[in-house]
Amino acid sequence: MTQVVLFNVFNGLIVGAFYALMALGLSLIMNLSGVINFAHGGFLAIGGYLAFTLMPYVGFWGGLVLAPILTAVLGLIVERVLVRRLYGRDPLYSLLLTFGLAFMFEDGTRFIWGAQSLPYQVPGWLLSPLSSDYFFLTGYRLFMVVIVALAVAGLFYILNRTRLGMRIRAGTLDLETVSVLGVNVRVLRNMNFGLGIYLAGLAGVLAVGQLGLQPTIGSSLIMPSFVAIIVGGLGSLPGTLLGGLLIGVASGVTTVFFPSATEAVMYVMMAAVLLVRPRGLLGEEGRF
Amino acid sequence: MGSNDLQKQAPNIVVWVLLLALPLWLPYVGGYMELGSRVVVLALAAMALNFLLGYTGVLSFGHAAYFGLGAYGAGMTIRYLVPSTGVGLLVGTLVGAVAGAIIGPMIIRLRGVYFAMVTIAFAQVFYFIAFRWNSVTGGDDGLTGWTRLPIHLGFTTIDILHNPVAFYFLVLAVFAVAVGVMAWLLRSPFGRTLIAIRENERRARFLGIPVDQHIWISWTISCAVVSVAGALYALLNNFVDPRALYWTQSGDFVIMAVLGGMRSFWGPLIGAAIFVVLQDYLSSQTENWMSFVGLFFVLVVMFFPRGILGIIRRKVAS
C-alpha cells in the first residue's frame, strides 16, 4: 500500500511539474501583458513534435536543447505579428485570438504529424529503474524532475538577477512607469512572451517522453495549468509553482482511492481555494 | 406609432418575419430545417451569453457548462424519469440555472481575465463528470436510447419528432419566450443598472448599487437561458455527449457574440447564423475544418472586433 501511494505521489509530482512549467509560462505572459494564452498548449505540442522530428538529426539531447528554442522563436513571431496588436484592448480579444490559434495549432500538428500517437524514444539508460523496491523510480522520471527544477531555478534567476528579469517584474507592477523610464516596452513584452513560450516548449519535450506524442496533448494540459494559477494565486510565480505541484500530487493520491475523480479533484481544490481565499494561496491582496 | 418608433422597431420586425418565414425561404438558399433549428438554438445560447458579456460587461468563458447541463438535464429526464419533452426542457433549464446560481457567489467578486479563467476552469468539472460517470451519462459515447417526444395538448398532438418544421416552431416559441424575457429585463431599471455597471463599475458602486449582487443575478439569468438552449440542443439531436460541455464550445458562443456585435441585442443571432452555416459547410468540405474555424477566430478578432452590427451601425451613424 505504501508503495502504491508513494508511486502515485511521485507520479503526481511529475505531472504537477509539467503543470507548473506550463502555468509559469502562462503566468509570465498574463502578468505582464494581461493575455490569457489559450494557445499555450498548442506551443507545448509543437515543442514535443519538433523534438521528435529533430531527434534523428541531433539526437535526444540536441532535441531537448533545440526544440524549446525553436518553439520560443515561433512564439516571438506570433507575438510580433498578432498578439501585439491587441494590447490595451479588452482582454476578450486576445483570449479569442489565442483560442483560434489553439485550434489551428492542434489541427496543424494533426495535419503534419498525423492523429496517431507517435513513439518517442528516450535514451535506454534513462529508462531502467534505479531501485528494485521502488520500480517506478526510473531514471527518466528523476531526470524530468531535475530538468524542471533547473528550468524553474533558471527562470527565477533571470527574473531576480538579470536586467531583463528586473524589467519584467517592474513592468508587471507598473508598465507605464517602466516605459517612461526609457525601457522599450514592446521589446520587453516580446521577450517575455518568448520566455513563456520557451517554458511551454520545454514542458512539451519532457511531456512527450512521459505521456506520448499526440495532437491533443496540449489541450489536455492547459486546463490544469489554469487551475494551478488560480490555486497558487494570480500574479505570484512561486504560487503558480506551488499550485501546479499541489494539484499534481492531489490527483496522484486521488487515483489510489477514487480513480474516477482523478481529474475532478483539482477543480474541487480550486473551488475550496476560491471560497476560503479568493486571491489564491500566495496571491497578493487586491490585485484582481 | 411615430416614424421614430417604427425605425426603432424595424430590426425586430425584420428578425421576426425572417424567423417565422424560415421554413418558406430556407430551402431556396440551400438550407435544411435542422440547420435552421440549430442556428436558433445556438443563437439563444449566444444571446444568453451576451446578456452577461455585452450588457453587464462580464466575460464568461465557461458557458458551455450550463449549456451542457441543460442538455444532460433534458436528456436524462426523458431517458430515466418522465417521458415528456416539456418536463425535459423544464428540468434541463432548472439544473443549469441552479448550478449557475450556486457557482455564482464563488466567482462574482472576480473581474476581467481572472473571471474568464475561473469560469473556464469550473466548466471543466462538469465535463469530467459527464465523461467519467459512464453508467449514467453514457460517458464518451454520449447519452443515447431516448428521443424527443410528441407534445400532447389534449385537443391535438404535435409530432415534433418526425416533423422538422413542427420542431422548428417549438424551438422558435421557446426562443421567443426566452429572448422576450431578456429584452424586457434589459429595458427594466434592473437592466439599465447592469449597463451602468458595465460602463463604470466604480461609479455604480459609489451610487450605492449592490454591484456583486447584480452581477450574480445577471450571471444566473444568463446561465438559465443558456441551459434552455442546451436542453433544446439535446432535443434537436436526440443525443447528448460531453463535447457539449467542453471548453471549446464556450469559445464558440463567445465568437458568435463578438462576430455579430456584442453591443447589439440581435448581434449574436447573426453571429450564430454565420458561424453555424460556416462550420456546417467546412466540416462537409475538409477534414481540417478546425484550422479554418481557428483562422476564422483570428480574422474576426483582427478585422471585425466590433462585429457586423457594430460596423453597420458605425456606417449608418457617419
Give the residue extent of every domain in chain B: 32-317
Specify the pLDDT at position B304: 85
Specify the pLDDT at position B3: 65
Residue B287 reports pLDDT greater than 60? yes
Exposure of A165 in the CB half-sphere (CA atoms within 13 A) = 10
Residue A120 reports pLDDT greater than 80? no
B289-303 and B247-260 are packed helices; what angle lies between their axes, rounded to 10 degrees? Answer: 40
Specify the pLDDT at position A219: 82
Residue type, position A101, single letter: L
- Whole-angstrom CA distances from B49 to A99, B124, B211, B225, B257 are 17, 18, 19, 9, 8
- Letter string b/e over residues B161-200, b meaning 16 or more CB atoms within 10 A of that residue's CB: beebebbbbbbbebbeebbeebeebbeeeebebbebbbee
Residue A132 reports pLDDT greater than 70? no
Residue A202 reports pLDDT greater than 80? yes
Q: Say yes or no: domain A2-276 is CATH 1.10.3470.
A: yes
- In angstroms, the separation between the Cα of residue A223 and the nearest Cα of chain B is 6
Best probe of the A interface among B113, B132, B250, B303, by most A CBs < 10 A, is B113
Residue A135 reports pLDDT greater than 90? no
Specify the pLDDT at position A288: 52
B49-53 — which CB contacts under 8 Å span 24+ positions? B49/B222, B49/B226, B49/B253, B49/B254, B49/B257, B49/B268, B50/B257, B50/B262, B50/B267, B50/B268, B51/B182, B51/B185, B51/B186, B51/B218, B51/B221, B51/B222, B51/B225, B52/B218, B52/B219, B52/B222, B53/A92, B53/B254, B53/B257, B53/B262
Residue-wise pLDDT for A230-248, tens only, equals: 999 888 899 999 999 999 9
Instruction: Lowest mean pLDDT of A12-21, A212-221, B230-239, name the range.
Output: A212-221
Confidence of residue B101 (pLDDT cuts 50, 70, 90): very high
Confidence of residue A256 (pLDDT cuts 50, 70, 90): confident
A112 at the B interface (CB within 8 A)?
Answer: no
Residues of B in contact with A259 (CB under 8 A): none
Confidence of residue B212 (pLDDT cuts 50, 70, 90): very high
Specify the pLDDT at position A153: 95
Residues of B in contact with A93 (CB under 8 A): 258, 301, 305
Specify the pLDDT at position A190: 94
Confidence of residue B305 (pLDDT cuts 50, 70, 90): confident
Specify the pLDDT at position B4: 72
On the 0-12 / 13-18 / 19+ scale of CB atoms within 10 A, A240 is buried
Which one-letter DSSP state was computed for residue A104? H
- Whole-angstrom CA distances from B82 to B90, B148, B239 are 11, 11, 16
The answer to whether A83 touches A35, Cβ cutoff 8 Å, is: yes
Residue A127 reports pLDDT greater than 80? no
Q: What are phi and psi of A132, to 5 degrees?
A: -75, -25
A230 at the B interface (CB within 8 A)?
Answer: yes
Instruction: Lowest mean pLDDT of A126-130, A261-265, B182-186, name the range.
Output: A126-130
Confidence of residue B11 (pLDDT cuts 50, 70, 90): confident
Residue A128 reports pLDDT greater than 80? no
Specify the pLDDT at position B72: 94
Specify the pLDDT at position B121: 84
pLDDT above 70 coverage of chain B, percent: 99
* Averaged pLDDT for residues B194-213: 92
Residue B140 reports pLDDT greater than 90? no
CA geometry: angle B186, B276, B69, nearest 5 deg:
65
Residue A25 reports pLDDT greater than 90? yes
pLDDT above 90 coverage of chain A, percent: 41
Instruction: Classify A21 in phi/psi space as left (phi over 0), alpha (psi -120 to 50) or beta.
Output: alpha
Q: Indicate the SS3 state at residue B210.
A: coil
Residue type, position A283, single letter: G
A223 at the B interface (CB within 8 A)?
Answer: yes
Right CATH for B32-317 from 1.10.10, 1.10.3470, 3.40.50, 1.10.260: 1.10.3470
Residue A280 reports pLDDT greater than 90? no
- Kindly report the number of other CB atoms within 10 A of residue A126's CB atom: 15
Q: Chain B residue closest to A92 (CA)?
A: B59
User: Between chains, do B128 and A227 touch, taking CB under 8 Å as contact?
Assistant: no
Distance of alpha carbon A83 from alpha carbon A77, whole angstroms = 9
Q: Which residue has the higher pLDDT, B244 or B69?
A: B69
* Averaged pLDDT for residues A120-143: 71
Residue-wise pLDDT for B33-92, tens only, equals: 889 999 999 999 999 999 999 999 898 989 999 999 999 999 999 999 988 888 999 999
Residue-wise pLDDT for B102-120, tens only, equals: 999 988 888 878 888 889 8
